[in-house]
Copies of this chain bind each other. A is one copy, B any other.
Amino acid sequence: MAEKVKVAVVGASGYSGEELVRLLLKHPNVELTAITSRANAGKSIGEVYPRFAKSTLKFCNPDVSELAKLAQVAFLALPHGLATEYAIPLLEAGLIVIDISADFRLRSTAKYEEYYGAPHPSPELLKQAVYGQPERYREQLKSANLVACAGCYPTSSILPSAPLLERKLVSTEGIIICSASGVSGAGRKVAEAYIFPECNESFKAYGVVGHRHTPEIEQEFAVAAGVDELKLNFIPHLAPFNRGINSTIIYNLMPGVTLEDVQKAYEEAYGNEQFVMVLPPKKTADVKYVTMSNCCQIGYNIDPRTNKLIVTSCIDNLTKGASGQAIQCMNIRLGLPENAGLL
C-alpha cells in the first residue's frame, strides 16, 4: 500500500476546519498529522469536539517551521486576511497550500481593495494561485502549489452558470442570484445576530448590495462568458438551518433557446462529473439532498411568458462549498482518485 500523505489543518476551530478534520480523519490516503488553533492549543480534539473523542490528535499552536516538518499539504482554514502570513513560508518550505479563505480568489488587486478596504498583502501570490473549483480548473489544479478554494456562494452560482454562459444560452446582462444559506455559513461566529433565538423562526436578506462574494462570482462568470467584465446582482439570505446553500438564479434567455438546449449544455458539462447532479427538467434542487455530501444539485425551468431561465442550485456550504471541495482539489493535485475520502 502506498504511503499516506501527511496533511495539516491550520485553523481547525471554525466550522470549515472542523469539517476538514471530519473528512480527513476518514480519508484513506492521508494522515492528519497536525491541527492548529491558538485558542485550543494543548487540548485534545475530543475535548473540543466530542464527536472525535476516539482520535488522539491534539491542537497545537500554528508554528510554521513545525508544520513544515509534519506535513506535505497544509489546509488553511483561517479568517480572511490571515492566509498570506502562513502561505508564504509554507510554500517556501515546499508544502502544497490549500486555502479556504477568500484571500487568493480575486485576480484583480483593485477589486480586492475595493471590497476588502485594504491593498492585497501579496499580489504576487495572487498570480500563482489556482482557483479551487475542480469542475472548472481541473488541469491547472494538477500542478497547483497554492489553491484558492472557491467560496460557498460562488460555488453554488458558478457551477450552474458556467455551462450556460460558455455556450451563450443566456445573456450576461441582468443576472439575478438570490441565495439562502444555513447559519454555519457565518462561521463559528459568536455574536448576538447568530444566537439561536435570533436565527430560529427568522429569515432575512443581508448584504444585498456589495457582498464580498459578488466580485468573485462576477470574475468567474466573466471568464465563462469570455467577456472582460460582467455585472450582476447577488442577494444572500440567512435561513434557519445548519448547513447548505440554495441559489436561485434568474437569467435572460438568448433568443430561441429551449429547455433541451439547457439540458444538453448540462449533460456536456457535467455528464461525467461525479459531484454535480443535474435534475430532470422542471425539477428544483433542495439543500437537504446534499447535506454532508460533496455534491451540487442543479434544477432548471423556463418561463416562456418572460423568457427567463430559472435555475436552482444546492450545495452543502461546508462540504462542496468549502472543505469537501478543498479535499477534492488536494486529491487532484496528488493524483489520487478525485473522490477519495469524499464518498
Using a CB–CB distance below 8 Å, which chain A residues touch chain B?
Answer: 15, 26, 46, 49-51, 53-54, 174, 176, 178, 180, 182-184, 188-192, 194-206, 208-210, 231-233, 235, 237, 239-244, 246, 248, 250, 274, 277, 279, 282-293, 295, 297, 299, 301-303, 305-306, 308, 310, 312, 314, 343
| Chain copies in complex | 4
CB distance from A328 to the nearest CB of B (A): 15
CB distance from A256 to the nearest CB of B (A): 18
Measured between beta carbons, the chain B residues less than 8 angstroms from A208 are 248, 284, 301, 303, 310, 312
Residue from the list B26, B176, B200, B239 in contact with A203, Cβ < 8 A: B239
Measured between beta carbons, the chain B residues less than 8 angstroms from A176 are 176, 178, 250
Candidate in A174, A205, A206, A293 with the most chain B CB atoms within 10 angstroms: A205
Given contacts A196-B240, A277-B53, contact A202 B286 (CB under 8 A): yes
Q: A51 vs B197: C-alpha distance in the bound complex, in angstroms?
A: 15
Measured between beta carbons, the chain B residues less than 8 angstroms from A232 are 306
Given contacts A50-B277, A50-B286, contact A189 B195 (CB under 8 A): yes
For the complex of A and B, list the 3 residue pairs with the smallest distance between their C-beta atoms, beginning with the closest. Answer: A204-B286, A202-B288, A196-B199
What are 5 residue pairs bridging A and B, where the CB atoms are less than 8 Å apart in the complex? A180-B203, A190-B195, A195-B196, A231-B306, A233-B250
Are B188 and A190 interface neighbours, CB within 8 A? no
Measured between beta carbons, the chain B residues less than 8 angstroms from A206 are 284
Residue from the list B183, B198, B242, B287 in contact with A204, Cβ < 8 A: B287
Are A233 and B306 interface neighbours, CB within 8 A? yes
Q: A176 vs B303: C-alpha distance in the bound complex, in angstroms?
A: 12
Given contacts A50-B297, A237-B248, A239-B240, contact A197 B188 (CB under 8 A): yes
Q: A236 vs B78: C-alpha distance in the bound complex, in angstroms?
A: 36
CB distance from A320 to the nearest CB of B (A): 13
Measured between beta carbons, the chain B residues less than 8 angstroms from A305 are 231
Given contacts A250-B235, A279-B53, contact A205 B303 (CB under 8 A): no
CB distance from A242 to the nearest CB of B (A): 5
Measured between beta carbons, the chain B residues less than 8 angstroms from A242 are 196-197, 200-201
Extra contacts, 19 of them, besides A195-B196, A204-B314 (Cβ < 8 A), are A178-B250, A180-B180, A180-B203, A190-B190, A197-B243, A201-B287, A201-B288, A202-B286, A203-B287, A204-B284, A204-B288, A205-B310, A209-B303, A233-B303, A235-B248, A235-B250, A235-B310, A239-B239, A240-B241
Are B233 and A308 interface neighbours, CB within 8 A? yes
Are B203 and A286 interface neighbours, CB within 8 A? yes
Measured between beta carbons, the chain B residues less than 8 angstroms from A301 are 208-209
CB distance from A30 to the nearest CB of B (A): 14
Measured between beta carbons, the chain B residues less than 8 angstroms from A50 are 277, 279, 283, 285-286, 289, 297
Measured between beta carbons, the chain B residues less than 8 angstroms from A241 are 200-203, 240
Measured between beta carbons, the chain B residues less than 8 angstroms from A239 are 180, 203, 239-240
Are A194 and B196 interface neighbours, CB within 8 A? yes
CB distance from A96 to the nearest CB of B (A): 25
Are A291 and B204 interface neighbours, CB within 8 A? no
Residue from the list B178, B285, B299 in contact with A178, Cβ < 8 A: B178
